[in-house]
């Protein structure tokens, strides 16, 4: 690691977080810009909240040469800034209002590129009016992003509803220089098998993300970090040594 890497990591307050980015930076061979990007995207916190930490980090280390929706859509999103007590139940409309009341922090959590456009956007489909909770425009992906909030785990019928919203926007709102719109379903939980069957055959630009109102306990991250250290040490021991001349 270069001096610039170390300087960047030392700016982090928590020892566990510093160790996490040190290990992942070495594993991924990250440059300083990539390390900063991962810190800014809250990779440490998202890894702690993920139910499959290894899969998340594998996707991160694979990287991508060009922008794609997967680069910007997190799962989970963390809305701890709302200050909602642990265990409290909240209605979808109240969650939507709370997020817009804290719009600046909400945009920071969504990540770079998101520009707020509308809430409760009305769409006339057939003879009925429908509403999508939040609409953003992404200046890097150059497309609309439709977000629907659910105060329950993901269900099969949620995908069909979002697919209708995305197709409506594609036909009625998309401009000639826009890319096709993206739909994000924000749910309290998701089962990967249910998601796979629900999205199979649908537009690939529909995503299901989980949201959390609170960060995980530090002990959980420490345990995972210890596991990462062991795995890295084992990989080093398996690496063949170069023979001297």
- Mean pLDDT for the chain? 80
| Rounded Cα–Cα distance for residues 51 and 193 (Å) | 14
Q: Which residue has the higher pLDDT, 61 or 87?
A: 61
Predicted confidence at residue 146, as pLDDT, reads 93
Residue 34 has pLDDT above 80, yes or no: yes
Stretch 108-125: mean pLDDT: 84
Q: Which residue has the higher pLDDT, 182 or 141?
A: 182
Stretch 127-144: mean pLDDT: 88
Task: Please report, for residues 27, 36, 50, 153, 231, the alpha-carbon distance to residue 22 in angstroms, rounded to integers and kept in the order given.
Answer: 9, 12, 19, 34, 14
Q: Which residue has the higher pLDDT, 234 or 208?
A: 208
Alpha helices in 11-137 (DSSP H): 15-28, 32-40, 43-49, 53-62, 92-101, 103-110
Task: Please report, for residues 11, 113, 140, 204, 245, the alpha-carbon distance to residue 175 in angstroms, rounded to integers and kept in the order given.
Answer: 43, 18, 15, 20, 64
Predicted confidence at residue 203, as pLDDT, reads 67
Predicted confidence at residue 167, as pLDDT, reads 92
For residues 186 and 149, the answer to whether their CB atoms sit within 8 Å is yes
Confidence of residue 241 (pLDDT cuts 50, 70, 90): low
Confidence of residue 81 (pLDDT cuts 50, 70, 90): confident
Give percent of the chain above pLDDT 90.
12
Please give the span between the terminal C-alpha atoms of the chain, in angstroms, as a whole number. Answer: 27
Predicted confidence at residue 64, as pLDDT, reads 40
Predicted confidence at residue 5, as pLDDT, reads 85
Predicted confidence at residue 65, as pLDDT, reads 38
Stretch 196-202: mean pLDDT: 84
| Rounded Cα–Cα distance for residues 156 and 160 (Å) | 7
**Annotated domain spans of the chain:** 3-64+217-238, 70-212
Confidence of residue 212 (pLDDT cuts 50, 70, 90): confident
Determine the 3-state secondary structure of 2 from DSSP.
coil
CATH number of 70-212: 3.40.1350.10
**pTM check: above 0.85:** no
Determine the 3-state secondary structure of 198 from DSSP.
helix
Per DSSP (E only), the strands in 126-174 are 128-138, 143-149
Q: Which residue has the higher pLDDT, 73 or 198?
A: 198
Predicted confidence at residue 214, as pLDDT, reads 66
Predicted confidence at residue 78, as pLDDT, reads 76
């Amino acid at each position: 690691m270069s001096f610039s890497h170390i300087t960047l990591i030392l700016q982090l307050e928590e020892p566990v977080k510093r160790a996490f980015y040190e290990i992942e930076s070495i594993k991924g061979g990250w440059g300083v810009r990539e390390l900063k990007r991962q810190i800014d995207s809250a990779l440490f916190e998202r890894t702690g909240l993920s139910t499959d930490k290894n899969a998340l980090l594998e996707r991160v280390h694979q990287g991508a040469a060009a922008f794609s929706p997967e680069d910007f859509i997190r799962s989970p999103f963390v809305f701890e800034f709302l200050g909602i007590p642990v265990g409290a139940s909240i209605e979808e409309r109240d969650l939507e209002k709370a997020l817009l009341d804290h719009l600046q922090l909400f945009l920071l959590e969504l990540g770079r590129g998101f520009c707020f456009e509308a809430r409760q956007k009305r769409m006339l489909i057939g003879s009925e009016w429908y509403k999508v909770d939040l609409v953003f425009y992404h200046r890097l992906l150059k497309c609309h992003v439709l977000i629907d909030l659910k105060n329950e785990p993901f269900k099969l019928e949620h995908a069909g509803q979002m697919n209708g919203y995305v197709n409506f926007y594609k036909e009625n709102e998309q401009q000639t220089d826009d890319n096709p719109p993206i739909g994000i379903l924000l749910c309290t939980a998701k089962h990967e098998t249910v998601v796979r069957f629900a999205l199979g055959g649908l537009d690939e630009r529909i995503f299901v993300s989980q949201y959390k109102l609170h960060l995980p306990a530090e002990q959980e991250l420490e345990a995972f970090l210890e596991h990462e250290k062991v795995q890295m040490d084992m990989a080093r021991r398996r690496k063949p040594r170069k023979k001297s001349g």
